[in-house]
Amino acid sequence: MKESKATENVYMNNFELKKVKTNNEKVKKPMGQVVSRNKKGRDRNSSVILYVLLVISLLLWVILGTVAFLKYSKISEELEKLQMEYLDIVGNVSVHLAEVRLEQKEARNDMQSALLELQNNTESACRCCRCKRGWDWIEGSCYFFSTDTQTWEGAKQFCSSKGSHLLILKENELTYLLEYIDSYHYWIGLKKDTKGWTWTDGNTVKFSKWAPGEPNGGNNQNICVEMHPNGNWNDHDCSAKRNWICEMEPKDVHQNVK
C-alpha cells in the first residue's frame, strides 16, 4: 500500500516535472520569436530613419541649390545692373568731357577774340595818343583829311599851323592812303615853280601819278597839283578851293601831340 503510494507519488512527480518542462519550452519558444520580431522591427525602423534622413538630405540639397540659384540670379542681376550703371556713367562722363572740351574751345575762341579786340582797342587808343584829335594814324604817320576847302596856299598855311605840311606823296604811300580818301579832290604839297614841279620841302618830283593828258597847265606859273579820289594827279590853278591832306612825320608827332 505504501509502495503503491510511493510509486504513485513518483509518477506524479515525473508528470509534474514533464508538465513544467513542457510549459517552460512553450514559454521559451514565444520569447525567441518575440526577440526575433523585435530585431526585425529595429532593422525596419533603422531603414525608415535612413530613408527619412536621405529624404531630408535631398530636401536640404534642393533647398540649398534653390537658394544658391536665387542668390546667383540676384547677383547676376546686380552685376548686370552695375554694368549698365557703369556704362551710363562712362557715357555721361564722355558726354561731359566733350561738353567741357567744347566749352574750353569756345572759351579759348572768346579769349582770343577778346584779346584781338583789346589789341585793336589798344592800337586805336595808341593812335589817338599819337595823333591829334581829328587826325588818323596810318603806317607810322599822322594824316589830316579836310572836310572843307581852301586855296592851295591857305591849305599850306593850315598844315604849317598844325606842325605838319601838305602831303608829300611817296609811291608806296599811295596804296594805303586811297582807303581813307573820300570822293574829293585834295591839294597835295606839289607846285610848279621856276625849277619845275617841286614839293614844299624843296625836293623835285621823283615819283609821279599824273592822270592821262596831265599836266596841261602850260606856262601858267600859278599851277598846283590836286589828287583825284583814284590817286591820279591833275594840275590846277592854285587859287581854286579844294580839300587838302596834311601829313605829320613820325619825328614830329611826339612834339606836336598834346
Give the span between the Cα atoms of 188 and 152, in whole angstroms. 8
Share of the chain above pLDDT 90, in %: 30
In the structure, how many helices (H) and strands (E) does the chain have?
A: 4, 8
pLDDT score for 96: 85
pLDDT score for 254: 52
pLDDT score for 9: 57
* Alpha-carbon separation of residue 162 from 151, 157, 167, 238 (angstroms): 17, 9, 13, 21
Residue 49: other Cβ atoms inside 10 A: 10
Dihedrals φ, ψ of 186, to 5°? -110, 135
CB 229 within 8 A of CB 127: no
Residue 171 scores a pLDDT above 50? yes
Using a 10 angstrom Cβ sphere, with 0-12 exposed, 13-18 middle and 19 or more buried, the burial of residue 54 is exposed
Domains of the chain: 135-256 (3.10.100.10)
**Terminal Cα distance for the chain, rounded:** 191
pTM of the predicted model as reported, rounded to 2 decimal places = 0.51
Q: pLDDT per residue over 201-243, tens digit each?
A: 999 988 888 999 988 876 677 899 999 999 999 999 999 999 9
CB 155 within 8 A of CB 242: yes
Q: Closest by alpha carbon to 221, among 204, 208, 238, 233?
A: 238
